Structure 1
């Protein structure tokens, strides 16, 4: 019988100068996924997050429901678009038209 895990808690460590990539950006701070924990319910996920805060104060944590993860995957594949045209895309198109390099 397989276990049903509904949440995942990601422990995020700050990026260092030696890191060559970033997994996630939160408020202009760059993080790499340090560890993932699958959790059966929200209480377990909350205790896992508290443990991260207690044992690794410089790390952040991110808790997602499995349906949220599916939305992210569908978004990457272009299958999920909760908003038609976002303002950021309009601004990027305007900047490109004006010759501003965004990279």
Structure 2
């Protein structure tokens, strides 16, 4: 798996709106390169397993209006692009 988009209908087999995101995030491969998360109302924080995505190059988290923090030690050294559009409650960003 190189890309996961929670917005596109074909992703419904992996995750359905309203379910906790943590089990899905725990299954993601460290070799994942693209992750798109959009309009996940229940998302308040990213699970700690997120820090294992060492090869992630593109991360888009959009319209997650309840997202407040990103985990410390997120360690996304390969990240080239980050989009946090319309995450209006985001207050904490790791160093």
When normalised by structure 1's length, the TM-score is 0.23
Greater fraction of residues in strand:
1
Greater fraction of residues in helix:
1
Larger Rg, first or second structure (1 or 2) = 1
Bigger RCO (CA 8 Å, 6+ sep): 1
When normalised by structure 2's length, the TM-score is 0.24
